[in-house]
Amino acid sequence: MKKHFTLLVATLFWGVMGILVFLPPPAAAGSIKLSYANFPPAPTFPCVQMERWKKEVEKRTNGKVQVNTYPGGTLLGAKNMMDGVIAGQADIGNLCMAYQPGRFVITNATSLPLGIPNATVGSLILWDLYQKYKPKSFSKVKVLTMFTTAPANIMSKIPIRTLADIKGVDLRASGGAAQILKAWGANQVGMPMSATPEALQKGVVKGLFSSLEVMKDFKFAEICKYVTLTDTVIYPFAVVMNMDSWNKLPDDVKKIFDDLSVEQAKWTGNYMDNHVKEAVAWSKKTQNVEFIQLSKEEKAKWDARLAPITDNWIKKAKADGYPAEAIVKDIKAFIEKYKKQ
Ligand code: 3IO
């Protein structure tokens, strides 16, 4: 009896030891550390979505992945984000594609005046477009998600009520949005959002053309007392990961990242849309900002100026070898699809 008992204990002991030896060691918390670079300051929407992604990833991997975030251009800036991630200076980076319009031709087509109604629809369209075309411009990175701003409006130190008012005014924008300002006759000045507070402060520009949540997040409402409502085009963003960093991830983590892609796009679009409403209310209530609605006749004139933009883009993109008509057709079809939902 005693002998049998000893044998049982021994069998159990070595059995358990055997299992322990052959099981992979449980991944220690924070055993995978990833750096995530962003160009604007922490309170702005690209960084808010970054913190949300970090939180979700750390939760869903039970802490196995630790994401260290670098807002405010502390690791990579607005214009070297893509190349910095490709070179491995950061594992992950968030970039605004409008800052390099010639580099991201297909995805920047979402900045044509095609009527994207809000950031939620914009973000889902952009992700669909990326999935469908898998543009070569992203072949050196893993794309984790994409999203857009809400449609852009003019924020300015002077009231802009007519095309005569905007003529020759120094206004800041980038990419597709810059083309729109030019068409309206403004003196368009190109620079990333992160350089805009100083340009406004110093008087280098009299205003900017972007989504309205910046009125609150950058406190532009303190200096720009007028908003001309145009609701015209969005700015597209991408979150990209260094290819070696991606390839090194275990499959379960890769799956968690992939499962988050479209969810993160939708979350960010939704956050942006709600935050714009909040910023508008705040600007009216606490900053006495005037919101200018163009009259019907005036709006028709502004829209007429934009009419040639898409056709001109198609001609140029086609000449450069892109399936330009199909891209525009797809964007329009995606807009209809998501508008209904
Ligand atoms: C943007 C960029 C950084 C932080 C907040 C922002 N809100 C809208 C944008 C869009 C953009 O990139 C731009 O330059 O207007």
Contact indicator for 83, 280 with CB cutoff of 8 Å: no
Kindly state whether residue 84 falls inside one of the protein's structural domains.
yes
Q: How far is the CA of 96 from the centre of ligand 1 (A)?
A: 8
Rounded to whole angstroms, the Cα distance separating 181 from 169 reads 10
CA-to-CA separations, 229 to 46, 212, 249, 298, 303, in angstroms, rounded: 23, 10, 45, 12, 13
pLDDT digits (tens, 9 = 90+) for 28-68: 777 999 999 999 999 999 999 999 999 999 999 999 999 99
Closest atom of ligand 1 to CA, residue 98: 12
Rounded to whole angstroms, the Cα distance separating 82 from 240 reads 8
Kindly state whether residue 268 falls inside one of the protein's structural domains.
yes
> Given this model, what pLDDT does residue 153 score?
98
pLDDT digits (tens, 9 = 90+) for 73-124: 999 999 999 999 999 999 999 999 999 999 999 999 999 999 999 999 999 9
Kindly state whether residue 300 falls inside one of the protein's structural domains.
no
> Given this model, what pLDDT does residue 291 score?
98
Q: How far is the CA of 193 from the centre of ligand 1 (A)?
A: 5
The contacts of residue 141 (CB under 8 Å, 6+ apart) are 82, 85, 86, 240, 241, 242, 243, 246
> Given this model, what pLDDT does residue 19 score?
55
Query: Ligand 1 test: best mutation among 235, 271, 280, most atoms within 8 Å of CB?
Result: 235
196 lines ligand 1 (CB under 6 A): no
Kindly state whether residue 82 falls inside one of the protein's structural domains.
yes
Kindly state whether residue 85 falls inside one of the protein's structural domains.
yes
CATH number of residue 52's parent domain: 3.40.190.170
> Given this model, what pLDDT does residue 50 score?
99
pLDDT at 22 over 80: no
Kindly state whether residue 79 falls inside one of the protein's structural domains.
yes
Closest atom of ligand 1 to CA, residue 193: 14
Contact indicator for 66, 34 with CB cutoff of 8 Å: yes
This prediction has a pTM of: 0.92
Mean pLDDT of 3-24: 58
Q: What's the alpha-carbon Rg for the chain, to the nearest Å?
A: 24
pLDDT at 18 over 60: no
40 lines ligand 1 (CB under 6 A): yes
How high does pLDDT run on average in the chain? 94
pLDDT digits (tens, 9 = 90+) for 117-153: 999 999 999 999 999 999 999 999 999 999 999 999 9
100 lines ligand 1 (CB under 6 A): no
Kindly state whether residue 161 falls inside one of the protein's structural domains.
no
pLDDT band of residue 262 (cuts 50, 70, 90) is very high
pLDDT digits (tens, 9 = 90+) for 173-229: 999 999 999 999 999 999 999 999 999 999 999 999 999 999 999 999 999 999 999
Domain residue limits at 118: 32-149+235-276
Q: How far is the CA of 86 from the centre of ligand 1 (A)?
A: 22
108 lines ligand 1 (CB under 6 A): no
At residue 59, what is the residue type?
A: K
Kindly state whether residue 170 falls inside one of the protein's structural domains.
no
Domain count within the chain = 1
pLDDT digits (tens, 9 = 90+) for 288-330: 999 999 999 999 999 999 999 999 999 999 999 999 999 999 9
Rounded to whole angstroms, the Cα distance separating 147 from 260 reads 13
